[in-house]
Structure 1
Amino acid sequence: MNLVEQLRERRRAIEAEVATLAPVRPPRIVCVTKTHPVETVRAAVEAGNRELGENYASELAEKAAALRDLDVRWHFIGHLQRRQIKQVSGAASVVETLSRVVEAERLAALGFDGEVFVQVAPPDAPATRSGVPREGAPELVAAARSLGLRVVGVMGVALPGEEAPVRTFFRSLVALADELELPERSFGMSADWRWATTEGATILRLGTALLGPRPGSRANLSASEGVEVP
C-alpha cells in the first residue's frame, strides 16, 4: 500500500466514525500538516484532504507557495504574532487564532477577506497559552466585526487531561458560539476528537491521527495540533 492509499484509508476510517458519532452534522476535518514535507502534503491532498492547517507563519507561506497548483484551503492555527500577520494573511483563507484587537486591526489594514475565528483560552490556562478569556470574547468579536472582518466562529485548544474537564470546555465553546450567533466551532485534535465530535464541533484539527507522527516529534507525543509550541 503506497502513502496515498494509507492516508486515504486513515481518513475514511475517521470519517466513518465521525459520521456515527455525529450523524446529523458531522464536523469537517482540517488536516494539520505541521513539519511534514511538501511531498507528504501532496499525498495527503490526493488522499482527500482539501483543508490544511499550519501552525507557523513561515511554514504556511512556504507550503502555500509550493502547492499553489492544488485546490486547497489553508487554515492558520498557530499563535498569531503581529509581525507575521502579513505573511499569514497572504497565504491563509482562514485565521483561527485571533485573540487581540491589535491583531484584528492589522488583519483589517491588510484587507484580509477570509474567515476569522476567535481563539478562546480554557479556564486556568497558563499565561503561555494563547486565546482570549471567555468573558472577553464578545468584545473582541464586536471589535473585529466593526473593522470589517468576517468572524465566523470560535476556536479552542483544551488542556490535556481527563475527559470531564475537556468536555466541559468544549461545551462552553458551543454555548459561547450560540450566544454570539457564530456558526463554526473549531475544537478537537488527535487526542480528543471523539469527545469533540459528540460535543458539537464543526471542525476537527487532526494531524497525527491522519498523517502519523510528525518528523522529529517525540516518541511519546500524542497530539499537539493547534498548540503554538512544538
Structure 2
Amino acid sequence: MTDASVASRLEQVLERIRSAAARAGRSPEEITLIAVSKKQPVDAIRAAYGAGQRVFGESYVQEGLDKIAALRGLDIEWHFIGRIQSNKTRQIAASFAWVHGLSDLGHARRLNDQRPPEAPPLKVCLQVNLSGERSKAGVDPADLADLLAACSVLPRLEVRGLMTLPAPAEDEAGQRKPLASLRRLRDQLATAAHPLSCLSMGMSGDLEAAILEGATQVRIGTAVFGPRPYN
C-alpha cells in the first residue's frame, strides 16, 4: 500500500461525503470522517495523516495503544469503536478521546471513574441495538432513556449522541430504515441540556444512506485503507 493509494482512496471517500451531503441539503462540514484503522499498519495511518486525515478509530485496545504510542507526536484524535471489556476500561479511559459503543452502565461508571483528572471528559456515543438480535451489542431502544439518564450525571463522561451498527441491506432504502430509526430516537430524547447532536452511523457500504439520515460521524475503514491485511 502506497501513500498515494491511501491519499487517493481518502479523496474518493471525501467526495462521496460531499456528494451525499449535497443530496441531503447539508454542509459536508457537518460530517466527521473517522478513518477506522484497525488491523492497518502504522504506515497506512501516516499516509492518511499526510493526506490531511486527523480522526482515526481503533477497535482493539492493545493495538490502539501501540499505534497511539507510535504516533504520539501527531495531532490525532483517537476514537475507540467496538465492544468494551471491563478489564480494558482503564486503558480506554486514559488514551482515547471518544468511545463509540457504550451500552452498559457498569462500563460507563468504570470509564468515568478511570478517566484521568487532567483530561477533558471522555466523549461517548451510546450504542443502540435496533435489530433486537441478541448477538449484537447495544442497548435496547426501550432501555435507552434510562441509560442516558444514568450516564448524564457522570461528570467525567460527556454523552454526545448515539451510534448503531445495523445489519447489511440490499439497497439504499433498506439501509436508511434503521438509520432513520436511530435519528428518531435521538430526536425523542434530545433536550437543551443534552442535545445528542452526534449520530455515529455509516460505514464504507452505506455512508450515503447514513448522511441522508443525518449522520454526523461516519466510520470508514476499507474504503480508505483497502482490505485489512489479516495475518
State the TM-score, normalizing by the size of structure 1.
Answer: 0.88
Instruction: State which of 28, 34, 40 in structure 2 corresponds to 1:30.
Output: 34
The answer for unaligned runs of 5 or more in structure 2 is: 191-195
Say yes or no: does 1:105 pair with 2:109. yes
* Corresponding residue to 1:96 among 69, 94, 100: 100
Shift of 1:3: 2.1
Residue 206 (structure 1) aligned to one of 211, 220, 223: 220
Unaligned runs of 5+ in 1: 218-230
1:151 to 154, 159, 165: 159
In the TM superposition, 1:181-220 aligns within 5 A as 181=190, 182-216=196-230
What's the counterpart of residue 177 of structure 2? Answer: 168
- List, as ranges, runs of 4+ consecutive aligned residues in structure 1 with deviation greater than 4 Å: none
How far apart, in 1, do the equivalents of 2:67 and 2:188 lie? 36
TM-score normalized by structure 2?
0.88
CA distance, structure 1, for counterparts of residue 68 and residue 161 of structure 2: 23
* Cα distance between partner residues in 1 of 2:199 and 2:124: 11
2:189 aligns with 180
**Could you say what secondary structure the match of 1:161 adopts?**
coil
Return the alpha-carbon distance in structure 2 between the equivalents of residues 208 and 73 of structure 1: 19
Contact 1:60 1:88 in 2 (8 A): no
What is the alpha-carbon distance in structure 1 between the residues aligned to residue 186 and residue 27 of structure 2? 16
Percent sequence identity over aligned pairs = 36
Q: For 1:76, what is the secondary structure of its paired residue?
A: strand
Number of matched residues?
A: 215
Q: CA deviation at 1:114?
A: 2.1
Residue identity matched to 2:20: L
**Mapped partners of 1:14, 1:213: distance in 2:** 15
